[in-house]
Chain A
């Protein structure tokens, strides 16, 4: 953990580099391997365990056996949604922490999730939107407004980037505000309540296979923008003035960053609801492996995010048999002690 403090500083010529090119590729390969393992576990483990050769059978030549149907219509969509959302939240968290230079930044803590939630509930109840294709746009708009709002509030009244406490409290305030509006809407309509409660808990279970294809373009666009944003973000981490002196267009870099964060977190919220703490934890796990370079931090965070989300989902399926614990709850139970540990450290983390 303490390495995060060191490596998060801009690299200076005197300090030995933590990762060479070859090592970085090796780490990338290991993370890919870990993700593959969790994908296999996620497809094989569940209320009904499926042996690995049956999984293979379902993938290569399905003949309509019970296991084939379970794998193809339940497990694979669920796993695919998990991979997409995990990558999206991991990268979004790393981008947020980079842009705010704030170790506590996370889409859930900063109100982005509740922004998307409010806009989506509003579109469902007031405009009668029924399909994910319809309301994902509202979710993205809500996420964008909330993220811009929280940053603006965190910046207001002070000079430069907001402190972790200011940003966390601004996020809490915006979340509470939007949550109150959402619950006022939901309380007037029991049907909306029934949808909302499942959505608020955060889950990747029981997703329609179409969800994957509907969310994929948004995540893909967000990832492309994130990688485009990485070099600019590296320059920004030296401070806005230095970045400007290096010829960076700071406004453009910020705009691309916020757009990427919105696409990634908005898409994941639309697909699986509120998943707290994943975006917070993942960059802290990735940073000791990658160093401060966002060109490596972002892909590492994406892979770790997907593996962590699937891992938490598998754990949730195993601990509460025959039922299951929503992945959002498992993530909160793991994430909150992580958050408390971050806060309790003697020296506050600086980014």
Chain B
């Protein structure tokens, strides 16, 4: 990967040992604005609840004094943090998937991760309902996230193996993903009919993607996953840049293409599965955030850090909308992201098609 020493005026090299990246001023500015927006949206979201507070009161409660310390620190902050972290993880997973599939329409939503998780969790809730008298206690806090994680990995593995045919073709991957997701979806519906109606309602809220009642036990795994997976993902972007050129070029560049691709897909699947385990399948964030980030930053492929921040902003904003639009009733955040995200997918489709024609 020797690149010609051409450098644009607004790019600055960043070196760490043998690795180096080009830092673009516009990306950095966009990232900072998104970070500020995410914090603001979190603060706005934390105002809402049984005890309404103003934004300054929220900050006061975090810094220590005041009677609201417990409410904010134990109930509202974890929920808000789960939202932004899950959004960031989903967006990162989406950015990696889209770069690998070389297709802006690819996302873990379609690739079997989220539907795999959903089936596994519905199965667990329904089974627990009939044998252990309901999904609560240990099962709810440990069992459900673990089940979701394993289900997501299994779903992704199924799609990957079925789409493999002397290599991975982006479109075949997407179509196989749609087929596998359809099976999972139908099995999920069937499981919902097997269970007791209260269990089914609970499962239904979970499979819509909800941040309601999230605590620190949801924050920690997602934060850990992001901390562990972001550094290798950033290193991997260098090979991703090459993957964009097509198989022949990549082989010519001497990168062990399928290994690089496989590892990056694994990272994306882990991120999406951990996020789904924490909050359920929040639809379309993984699809939309990288594309929004790409346009904001003005670059050719989804920038990872900006994508993650865009995902955080998107999820926080959607949750705020879900809680206030039909107040006092609250919708699961996933319903809002699906209602907003589906038209966006359609817009993308039309754009891709226009480009293909010209």
B98 contacts chain A at the CB level, 8 A cutoff: no
Assess A344 versus B335: contact at CB under 8 Å? Given A180-B283, A197-B192: no
Query: Which residues of B are found within 8 Å of A157, using beta-carbon distances?
Result: 349-351, 353-354, 357
Decide yes or no: A183 and B335 within 8 Å by CB, A159-B357, A190-B197, A197-B200 being known contacts: yes
| Contact present for A180 and B342 (CB under 8 Å) | yes
Q: Is B260 an interface residue, CB under 8 A from the partner?
A: no
Cross-chain contact B176 with A332 (CB below 8 angstroms): no
Q: A328-B189, A344-B176 are in contact. Are A333 and B183 (CB under 8 A)?
A: yes
- B201 x A190 contact (CB < 8 A): yes
Chain A minimum-CB-distance residue to B103: A165
B110 contacts A by Cβ under 8 Å: yes
Residue A174 at the chain B interface, CB threshold 8 Å: yes
Q: Which of A109, A190, A201, A277 has the most CB of B within 10 A?
A: A201
Interface footprint category on B: 35 or more
Contacts of A328 in B (CB 8 A): 186, 189-190
Task: Find A197's partner among B186, B193, B350 (CB 8 Å cutoff).
Answer: B193
Measured between beta carbons, the chain A residues less than 8 angstroms from B44 are none
A179 to B175, CA, bound (A): 20
| Least Cβ–Cβ distance between A193 and chain B, in angstroms | 6
Cα distance A179–B185 when bound, in Å? 12
At the interface, yes or no: B133 with Cβ under 8 Å from chain A? no
Contacting residue for A169 out of B174, B198, B200, B354, CB 8 A:
B174
Q: Is the interface of B mostly helix, strand, loop or mixed?
A: helix
A333 to B186, CA, bound (A): 9
Q: Once bound together, how far apart are the Cα atoms of A179 and B171, in whole Å? A: 24
CA distance A276 to B171 in the complex (A): 21
Stretch from A82-90, A247-255, A335-343 contacting the other chain: A335-343
Complex CA–CA separation, A181 to B185 (angstroms): 17
Given the complex, which residues of A lie within 8 Å of B338, measured CB to CB? 176-177, 179-180
B178 touches A188 (CB 8 A): no
Instruction: Kindly state whether residue A77 has any CB partner on chain B within 8 Å.
Output: no
Question: Which B residues between 332 and 357 are near A, CB-CB below 8 angstroms?
Answer: 332, 334-335, 338-339, 341-343, 345-346, 349-354, 356-357
B206 CB to nearest chain A CB (Å): 11
CA–CA, A104 to B182, complex, Å? 13
Interface residues of A in 303-351 (CB under 8 A from B): 325-326, 328-329, 331-333, 335-336, 339-340, 343-344
Say whether, besides A166-B349, A169-B345, A197-B192, A104 and B186 are in contact (CB < 8 Å).
no
> When A and B form their complex, what is the total count of cross-chain residue pairs whose Cβ atoms lie within 8 Å?
152
Expressed in whole angstroms, the Cα–Cα distance for A198 and B194 within the complex equals 9
B39 in the interface, Cβ–Cβ < 8 Å? Answer: no
- A336 and B283 CA atoms in complex are apart in Å by 22
Contacting pair B208 A183 (CB below 8 A): yes
Q: Are B186 and A201 in contact (CB under 8 A)?
A: yes
Contacts of B352 in A (CB 8 A): 166
Contacts of A181 in B (CB 8 A): 335, 339
How many angstroms between the C-alpha atoms of A58 and B18 in the bound complex? Answer: 84
Q: Which residues from chain B contact A158 at a C-beta distance below 8 Å?
A: 353-354, 356-357
Q: Tell me which of B179, B189, B190 contacts A336 (CB under 8 A).
A: B179
Please measure, in the bound complex, the distance between the C-alpha atom of A181 and the C-alpha atom of B334, giving whole angstroms: 11
Q: Which of B178, B187, B197, B345 contacts A329 (CB 8 A)?
A: B187
Number of A positions contacting B (CB below 8 A): 53
Chain B hits for A333, CB < 8 A: 183, 186-187
Q: A197-B189, A328-B186 are in contact. Are A343 and B208 (CB under 8 A)?
A: no
Given contacts A190-B201, A194-B197, A332-B186, contact A180 B339 (CB under 8 A): yes
Most chain-A Cβ atoms within 10 A of its Cβ — which of B190, B350, B351? Answer: B190
With a cutoff of 8 Å between Cβ atoms, the chain B residues found around residue A173 in the complex are 342-343, 345-346, 349
**Residues on the B chain within 8 Å of A168, using CB:** 175, 178
B329 contact set on A, CB distance < 8 A? 188
Q: Given the complex, which residues of B lie within 8 Å of A179, measured CB to CB?
A: 338
Contact flags B243-254 to A (C-beta < 8 A → 1, else 0): 000000000000
Whether the pair A176, B342 counts as a contact (CB closer than 8 A) is yes
Least distance between B155 CB and chain A CB atoms (Å):
13
Query: 1/0 per position for B271-294, CB-CB distance to A under 8 A?
Result: 000000000000110000000000
Any chain A CB within 8 A of the CB of B204? yes
Interface status of A170 (Cβ within 8 A of chain B): yes
- Cα A109 to Cα B335 with chains together (Å): 20
Q: Which chain B positions have C-beta within 8 A of A109?
A: 178, 182
Most buried by B among A109, A188, A333, A340: A340
Which residues of chain A are near B350, meaning CB under 8 Å? 153, 156-157
- Inter-chain CA distance A276–B192, complex, in Å, is 17
Measured between alpha carbons, how far is A193 from B200 in the docked complex, in Å?
A: 8
User: Which residue in A165, A180, A201 is a CB contact (below 8 Å) of B175?
Assistant: A165
* A161-195 interface bits toward B, Cβ cutoff 8 Å, 1 = contact, 0 = none: 01011101110111011011101101110100110
Question: Which single residue of chain B is at the shortest CB-CB distance from A154?
Answer: B349
- What's the Cα separation between A332 and B171 when bound, in Å? 22
Residues 129-187 of B at the A interface (beta carbon under 8 Å): 162-163, 165, 171-172, 174-176, 178-180, 182-183, 185-187
Q: Which of B174, B183, B198, B346 makes the CB contact (< 8 A) with A170?
A: B346
> Which of B178, B332, B341, B349 has a CB less than 8 Å from the CB of A153?
B349
Inside 8 A of B165's CB, which chain A residues have their CB?
Answer: 344
A274 in contact (CB, < 8 A): yes
Q: Determine the residue in chain B with the shortest Cβ distance to A323.
A: B194
Q: How far is the CB of A337 from chain B (nearest CB, A)?
A: 8
- Let me know if B309 is at the binding interface, CB within 8 A: no
Contact of A274 among B189, B197, B200 (CB under 8 A): B189
Does A200 make an interface contact (CB < 8 A)? yes
Given contacts A156-B353, A157-B357, A336-B180, contact A176 B283 (CB under 8 A): yes
- A–B Cβ pairs within 8 angstroms, 19 of them: A157-B353, A158-B356, A165-B174, A165-B175, A168-B178, A176-B341, A176-B342, A186-B204, A187-B332, A188-B329, A194-B197, A197-B197, A202-B189, A326-B190, A328-B190, A336-B182, A343-B176, A344-B163, A344-B172
For the complex with contacts A180-B339, A184-B331, 16 further pairs of A-B residues with Cβ separation under 8 Å are: A104-B175, A109-B178, A157-B357, A164-B175, A168-B175, A169-B349, A173-B346, A179-B338, A180-B283, A187-B201, A190-B197, A193-B201, A201-B193, A335-B182, A340-B179, A343-B176
